Structure 1
Amino acid sequence: MDPNKTQLTNDPHRTQMIGDPSGTQTMPGMPTKGLEVEVIAGRPCALANSPAREQFLINFKGVDGAFGGARTPLNLCLVIDRSGSMEGEPLDYVKKACAYVVDLLSPEDVLSIVTFEEVVDVLMPPRKVINKDLIKENINRIVPGNTTNLYDGLSLA
């Protein structure tokens, strides 16, 4: 085995040989109550003796019932690009994704929606998510515009 092929263990000052070919490794001793964390390396090996840029996929998953009680209400702003380049399938996917997010929110959550193209428009100012159907109807009414004004869209959010 090549001694330069290493993988981080639960001790940040030590490396070890890769054992699992999938690149997934559990780290014993890590706190697990309430949160599952999975780290998947982009490559199975990395050089230990030189700097390198590596890609990792990190999945966080809340464990049901771990903390008990209700979650803290969210204050969420959906910023939607409705420029001409979003016409057709891309904007349809965005609308479906936004409707899915709306369905996940509770009446205690606060939602605002900003759309942008050449101009920025506040589709919905911050308000509690009381009438989900009305919010989704407004999202479905979004139509593509012309060019993109990304800076103003994000700065208004």
Structure 2
Amino acid sequence: MGQRGFSLIEVLVVMGIIAILLAVATIQFNEWSRKAVMEGEIKRLYADLMRVRQEAVYSKRERTVVLAPSRYDIYSSNVTSVGALTQNTLTYPIVWNGAGNQITFNLRGTTDNQKSICIDPSDNPAAYDSIVVSRARVRLGKRDIGGNCATTPTNYIQLR
């Protein structure tokens, strides 16, 4: 009985433990990946809004961002009947409140198109999933679970 090595039972137990750990890791990776994509999209939209706002101030011309559920377009003026400078496609849909789907920054960098923009669904794992555009400020935030961005945004968004 002085044989060296592993028995079949020991090998099967170790393989079972490895399979369980891989299954848990895969689930966690999928959630982490989804979270990273959502945060990346909202931060990219935030960066683009800030850039458009700065360009409006520096060029002394109005700049406009037009929102759609699956994308947003950036225009070099408040005229949106011409082609957009850039069109950005989104992986996850966005919703917003307020009248219309445009945010126009004037030559002072302010806007009258105050909105909250949120990534759907509301129970997402992202640390940032919302943008609140006020007259003179653009801020990132996190929507409370169950919060509806399209109806009463400021009650449901934790600004950061």
Q: Same fold (TM over 0.5)?
A: no
| Bigger share in helix | 2
Q: Calculate the TM-score normalised by the size of structure 2.
A: 0.25
Q: Greater CA radius of gyration, 1 or 2?
A: 2
Q: Calculate the TM-score normalised by the size of structure 1.
A: 0.25
